[in-house]
Amino acid sequence: MSFSFVCNICSAENRGLRLKDLDREAGRCEGCGSLVRLRSLIHLLSLHLFVEALAIGQWPENHEILGYGISDWPKFSKYLGPKITYTNTQFDLDVAAAATVLDITKPPRAWFKTADFVICTEVLEHVVPPAQAAFDGLLALLKPGGRLIFSVPYRFKPTIEHFPDLHEWSIQTDEAGSRTVINTARNGDVQTFDNIRFHGGGKQVLEMRVFGLADLKASLRAAGFVNIQIAGLLYKPFGIRFAHNWSLPMAARRPLRARASR
Ligand SMILES: [Zn+2]
């Protein structure tokens, strides 16, 4: 049975999908091409900013609301830009020479406490270890009370760090096209890893880790985040439906006041 939903990113009405066809990386909107994961992130953002489930088209225009994207879906700029002040950033200049460059593990001091929100989807599993630097960097960007809206693939087991001693490293490709990570650890040991995984479309990015939910929450808390939330499995009006209860988008807040012990 088909159902209809309104895309909360582009406001297109979608009638061609069945609810059971929707999942994290599926349910493409006929208007903007967004997937369920992206609509879920914007749904979390709307609930944070306006305490209401609004499509971007219904948001009041308020350019005092300032947010960053960390290597975001490029179309977020098109839809968020008319409503709020939103800057997408890239880690890698190769991806987009005109983009604002930001290394989330080392955000510039001038950016500290400037953001009402940061969106960071499918990035933290690719950050060079230790990943904690990225969680700390995300917190640093947020104003007190600001919200991190993010997603990573996670499971209900401990985090697996594929390359815990990564230091001086490169990816080598042999004649058959298979790729290997060669790492010289800080103690001088040379390590070779095959069986490595890449994600992404245009530019492939190396999977550094698979998060476990408990470790993920611990990293958020260690950075200073509070109010860790996990997105709902279903919000039919916006075509949001996850088939599984893992790897759901999440949100967390920077506290209004710093903890006394820090
Ligand atoms: Zn759409």
State the pairing for strand pair 226-230/250-253: antiparallel
Q: How many domains does the chain have?
A: 2
Question: What is the predicted pLDDT for the residue at 122?
Answer: 94
Ligand 1 centroid vs 7 CA: distance in angstroms?
A: 4
- Count the Cβ atoms, other than its own, within 10 Å of residue 253: 21
Q: Residue 205: in which H helix or E strand, if any?
A: strand 205-206
Q: Across residues 201-209, what is the average pLDDT?
A: 78
Lowest-confidence pick of 62-66, 92-96, 128-132: 92-96
Ligand 1 centroid vs 235 CA: distance in angstroms?
A: 15
Query: Does position 20 have pLDDT exceeding 80, yes or no?
Result: yes
Ligand 1 centroid vs 201 CA: distance in angstroms?
A: 20
Ligand 1 centroid vs 205 CA: distance in angstroms?
A: 26
- On whether both 175 and 234 belong to a single domain, the answer is no
Q: Judge whether 100 lies within some domain.
A: yes
- On whether both 117 and 152 belong to a single domain, the answer is yes
State the pairing for strand pair 13-14/5-6: antiparallel
- On whether both 27 and 59 belong to a single domain, the answer is yes
Residue 98 half-sphere exposure toward CB, CA atoms < 13 A: 1
Q: What is the average pLDDT score of the chain?
A: 93
Q: How far apart are CA 248 and CA 234, in angstroms?
A: 11
Ligand 1 centroid vs 78 CA: distance in angstroms?
A: 12
Contact 251, 118 (CB under 8 A): no
Ligand 1 centroid vs 98 CA: distance in angstroms?
A: 25
- On whether both 157 and 167 belong to a single domain, the answer is no
pLDDT band of residue 200 (cuts 50, 70, 90) is confident
Q: How far apart are CA 60 and CA 45, in angstroms?
A: 14
Find the Cα–Cα–Cα–Cα dihedral 254, 256, 259, 262, rounded to 10°.
70
- On whether both 45 and 173 belong to a single domain, the answer is no
Question: pLDDT per residue over 160-195, tens digit each?
Answer: 999 999 999 999 998 988 899 999 999 999 999 998
Q: Judge whether 259 lies within some domain.
A: no
Question: What is the predicted pLDDT for the residue at 4?
Answer: 96
